[in-house]
Amino acid sequence: MVIYGVYIVSKSGGLIFNHDHNVPRIENERVFNYPLDLKLRYENKKIVVSFGQKEGINVGHVLTAVNGNAVIGRELENGKDVFDLLEEPECFPLSLKFSRARMTTNEKIFLASMFYPLFAIASQLSPEPRCSGIEILEADTFRLHCYQTLTGIKFIVVAESTQSGIEILLKRVFELYADYALKNPFYSLEMPIRCELFETNLQTLLENVEKSGASSA
């Protein structure tokens, strides 16, 4: 029973609030000998695994550290290129640390605006007349619930597929939004929500729902 995150998307498709609740950290450190049995690739300013997943290091994981030194872009802190380093047999054995890439704020904004057209197309391609957009989207690792208010604001919760009581949770988040964000005189519509009361109340609500399901929501 885990809730991974809450997102609020404004009427025009911008991300106005996001809260990471319980995102698991997937990290693996392992000692490698020459030659490396992984294929690495440089993309989007990160070094990612492109082939050869094993022992918890999966395709798509990002190289974060070499021998405990953090990797920035494709270089180590001392300015040495990681790919050059991996070509030198005398540097081995090396301890490499990989982790699943975490979303940056920019990526979250990008994904929020990406969800907006998906929501609209889903209602356009409907085989039935007068259909809403996406309400539940399920993948094998999570389930996304979306609730759109009459005013067009979307509340999105990403949770484990087994988590119950999300419908009620979404309505409660809407209530909190109405109480603590909209009644705040310093909050202007369509702008990112930075209200402390809203965040603390949301945090308590999420913890309650995780602990005991829908009943306490």
Q: Which residues bind other proteins (CB under 8 A)?
A: 4-5, 23-24, 26, 58, 60, 100, 103, 107, 111, 114-115, 117-118, 121-142, 144, 158
Which of 181, 206 has the CB closer to other proteins?
206
Are the beta carbons of 139 and 160 closer than 8 angstroms? Answer: no
Cβ neighbours of residue 90 closer than 8 Å, sequence gap 6 or more: none
CB of 99 to other proteins, least distance (A): 11
CB of 22 to other proteins, least distance (A): 8
CB of 182 to other proteins, least distance (A): 26
Which of 127, 185 has the CB closer to other proteins?
127
CB of 132 to other proteins, least distance (A): 4
- Give every strand in the sheet of 143-148, ordered side by side: 15-20, 3-9, 154-159, 143-148
CB of 118 to other proteins, least distance (A): 6
217 three-state secondary structure = coil
Which of 131, 191 has the CB closer to other proteins?
131
CB of 70 to other proteins, least distance (A): 22
Which of 22, 208 has the CB closer to other proteins?
22
Are the beta carbons of 173 and 157 closer than 8 angstroms? Answer: yes
Which of 121, 189 has the CB closer to other proteins?
121
Residue 209 burial (CB count, 10 A): 24
The DSSP line for 83-121 is HHHHH-GGG-SEEEEEEPPPPPHHHHHHHHHHHHHHHHH
Are the beta carbons of 150 and 6 closer than 8 angstroms? Answer: no
Which of 135, 199 has the CB closer to other proteins?
135
Pair of tokens at residue 69:
């030194």
Q: What angle do CA 71, 73, 74 make, to 5 degrees?
A: 80
CA atoms within 13 A on the CB side of 214: 9
